[in-house]
Chain A
Amino acid sequence: MTAVSLRHISRRFGDHVAVRDLNLDIESGEMVAFLGPSGCGKTTTLRMITGLIEPSSGDILFDGESVLSTPTERRGAVMVFQKHLLFPTMNVAQNVGFGLKMARVSREETAERVKEILELVDLPGLEDRKAHELSGGQQQRVALARALIVRPKVLLLDEPLANLDANLRITMRHLIRSIQKEMGITAIFVTHDQEEAVMLADRVALMFDGVLQQVGAPDEFFRTPRTTGVARFFRNGNFLRGHRRGSTIHTDVGPIEIVSTSETVEDGPSVLTVRPEEVRLVNEETDQENVVPAVVTSLIYMGSHTQLTVTIGDTPWQIQAPAAFQARNGDTVRLLLPRGHVSIVADDDTATTGSAEATLAEGSAVL
Chain B
Amino acid sequence: MTTEPEKRTGLVPRWARWTAVTSIVVFVVVPISTLVVWSFAFRWNFPNILPTEWGLRAWSYTASDSSRVLEGLWNSTRLALLVTGMAIVVGLPASRALGQHEFRGKSTVEWLLMMPIIVPALVATMGIHQIFIRLRLTETLFGVALVHLIPAIPYFVLVMASVFANYGTALEETARTLGANRYRVFRYVTLPAISSGLLVASMFTFLISWGQYVTTLLIGGGTFVTLPLVLFPFLSGGNNSTAAAISLVFVAPAIVVLVLTSRQLSRDSALMGGFGKL
* Residue positions of A touching B, CB distance < 8 A: 47, 50, 52, 71-81, 83-84, 87-89, 98-99, 101-103, 146-147, 150, 156
Q: Mark B160-193, 1 if CB is under 8 A from A, else 0.
A: 0000000010110111111111001000110011
| Least CB separation from B192: chain A residue | A89
- B176–A73 CB distance below 8 A: yes
**Within the complex, what minimum Cβ distance (angstroms) separates B103 from chain A?**
11
Separation of A98 and B170 alpha carbons in the complex (Å): 15
Partner of B177, one of A79, A88, A101: A79
Bound Cα distance from A83 to B170, whole angstroms: 8
**Complex-state Cα separation, A227 to B175, whole angstroms:** 40
Q: A84-B170, A102-B184 are in contact. Are A72 and B177 (CB under 8 A)?
A: yes
Q: Which residue of the partner chain B has the closest CB to A104?
A: B179
Give the Cβ gap from B183 to chain A, nearest Cβ, in Å: 10
Q: How large is the interface on B (under 10, 10 to 19, 20 to 34, 35 or more residues)?
A: 10 to 19
Query: Which 9 pairs from chain A and chain B are nearest by CB?
Result: A102-B179, A84-B170, A99-B178, A89-B192, A72-B176, A79-B177, A102-B180, A78-B177, A81-B170
Apart from A79-B177, A84-B171, A102-B184: 9 A-B pairs, beta carbons within 8 A: A47-B173, A52-B177, A73-B180, A87-B193, A98-B175, A99-B178, A150-B178, A150-B179, A156-B177
Asked if A79 and B180 sit within 8 Å, CB to CB, the answer is no
Q: Which residues of A contact B175 (CB under 8 A)?
A: 87, 98, 102
Question: In the assembled complex, which residues on chain A have CB atoms less than 8 Å from the CB atom of B168?
Answer: 84
Contact with A along B195-225 (1 / 0, CB 8 A): 0000000000000000000000000000000
User: Considering only CB atoms, which chain A residue lies closest to B189 in the complex?
Assistant: A87
A77 to B180, alpha carbons, bound, how many Å?
12
CB distance from B104 to the nearest CB of A (A): 10
A73 touches B179 (CB 8 A): yes
Q: Does the CB pair B176–A52 fall under 8 Å?
A: yes
Taking chain A's interface residues, is the majority helix, strand, or loop, or is none over half, making it mixed? Answer: mixed
Main DSSP-derived SS at the B contact region: helix
Q: Which residues of B contact A150 (CB under 8 A)?
A: 178-179
Which chain B positions have C-beta within 8 A of A72?
A: 176-177
Which residue of chain B lies nearest to A101 when distances are taken between CB atoms in the complex? B188
A102–B193 touching, CB < 8 Å: no
Cα(A156)–Cα(B184), bound, Å: 22
**CA A87 to CA B178, docked complex, whole Å:** 12
Q: Are A87 and B171 in contact (CB under 8 A)?
A: yes
Q: Which one of B168, B174, B188, B189 has the highest number of Cβ atoms from chain A below 10 Å of its Cβ?
A: B174
Closest to B176 in A: A72
Residues of A within 8 A of B192 (CB): 87, 89
Chain A residue nearest to B184 (CB atoms) is A102
Q: Smallest CB–CB gap between B120 and chain A, Å?
A: 39
A-side contacts of B188, CB under 8 Å: 98, 101
Contacts of B180 in A (CB 8 A): 73, 98, 102
Contacts A87-B189, A88-B193, A89-B192 given; does A99 touch B173 at CB 8 Å: no
Contacts of A83 in B (CB 8 A): 170
Q: Distance (Å) between the CB of A53 and the closest chain B CB? A: 10
Q: How far, in Å, is A249 (CB) from chain B's closest CB? A: 49
Which of A47, A84, A89, A103 makes the CB contact (< 8 A) with B179?
Answer: A103
Please measure, in the bound complex, the distance between the C-alpha atom of A99 and the C-alpha atom of B188, giving whole angstroms.
Answer: 12
Contact call B193/A98, Cβ cutoff below 8 A: no
Complex formed: what's the CA distance from A150 to B170 in Å? 19
Query: Cβ of B178 and Cβ of A147 under 8 Å apart?
Result: yes
Name the residue of chain B whose CB is nearest to the CB of A147: B178
Q: How far is the CB of A264 from chain B (nearest CB, A)?
A: 45
CA–CA, A150 to B193, complex, Å?
A: 23
Which chain A residue has the least Cβ–Cβ distance from B104? Answer: A14
Contacts of B174 in A (CB 8 A): 79-81, 84
Residue of B whose beta carbon sits closest to that of A103: B179
A98 to B192, CA, bound (A): 14
Provide a sorted-by-A list of 6 A–B residue pairs whose CB atoms are within 8 angstroms. A73-B178, A76-B179, A99-B179, A102-B175, A102-B184, A103-B179
Complex alpha-carbon distance, A102 and B181, angstroms = 9
Inter-chain CA distance A50–B173, complex, in Å, is: 9
CA of A197 to CA of B240, assembled, Å? 80
B255 to chain A, nearest CB (A): 29
Q: Determine the distance from Cα of A88 to Cα of B196 in the docked complex, in whole angstroms.
A: 13
From A71, A79, A146, A150, name the one whose CB has the most chain B CB atoms within 10 angstroms: A79
Contacts of B181 in A (CB 8 A): 71, 73
A236 to B16, CA, bound (A): 60
How many Å from the CB of B184 to the closest CB on chain A? 6
